[in-house]
């Protein structure tokens, strides 16, 4: 991690390393099981946290961590075991204790979108198990990332609500 980030250091969006799917994650339909989308996105979040300055070393030194507060996944297209994938992350907003972002699972070769994962995370003290402000260095990095990512359009998947279009309650 570069301790002093400049605006020119910011990937827009952030792109993590290639994703390798495991054969045991494939279900009886021949595609990635829904539960393992969460696993893939969760593994990608570790790279994102490193990028913003909240990696393992920072967390251990400052006795802090992040907890997911709310999350939402959209499934756009089937993914198969041999599909080369990458996760791209866009910062949507932040304050001293929370980070709102969205991950996009893309096919690396063909570019199509497979899924999205919108998350709200809370910065937590591991000692008190309560929310705590992020270090100034992390806030600085988030400010630069927010500035760079503000040029990106707000994705259609952000803030989606689950429900039937008719609005009628289900009959039973």
DSSP 3-state assignment of 12?
coil
Tens digit of each residue's pLDDT (9 = 90 or more) over 10-60: 889 999 999 999 999 999 999 999 999 999 999 999 999 999 999 999 999
- Strands (E) across the chain are located at 14-15, 64-75, 85-94, 98-107, 113-125
Q: Where are the domains positioned within the chain?
A: 7-149
Q: Rounded to an integer, what distance in angstroms lies between the CA atom of residue 36 and that of residue 40?
A: 6
Confidence band for 157, pLDDT divided at 50, 70 and 90: very high
DSSP 3-state assignment of 52?
helix
Tens digit of each residue's pLDDT (9 = 90 or more) over 82-124: 999 999 999 999 999 999 999 999 999 999 999 999 999 999 9
- Indicate the pTM of the whole model: 0.90
DSSP 3-state assignment of 35?
helix
Query: Domain 7-149 belongs to what topology?
Result: Thiol Ester Dehydrase; Chain A (3.10.129)
């Amino acid at each position: 991690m570069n301790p002093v980030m400049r605006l020119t250091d910011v990937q827009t969006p952030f792109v993590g390393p290639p994703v390798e799917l495991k054969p045991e994650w494939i279900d009886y339909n021949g595609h990635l099981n829904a539960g393992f989308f969460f696993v893939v996105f969760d593994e990608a979040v570790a790279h994102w946290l490193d990028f913003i300055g909240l990696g393992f070393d920072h967390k251990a030194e400052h006795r802090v961590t992040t907890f997911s507060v709310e999350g939402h996944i959209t499934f756009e297209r089937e993914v198969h075991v041999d599909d080369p994938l990458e996760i791209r992350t866009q910062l949507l907003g932040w304050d001293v204790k929370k980070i709102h972002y969205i991950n996009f699972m893309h096919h690396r070769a063909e570019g199509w979108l497979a899924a999205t994962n919108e998350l709200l995370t809370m910065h937590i003290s591991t000692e008190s198990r309560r929310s705590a402000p992020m270090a100034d260095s992390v806030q600085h990095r988030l400010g630069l990332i927010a500035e760079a990512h503000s040029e990106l359009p707000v994705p259609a998947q952000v803030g989606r609500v689950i429900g039937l279009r008719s609005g009628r309650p289900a009959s039973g």
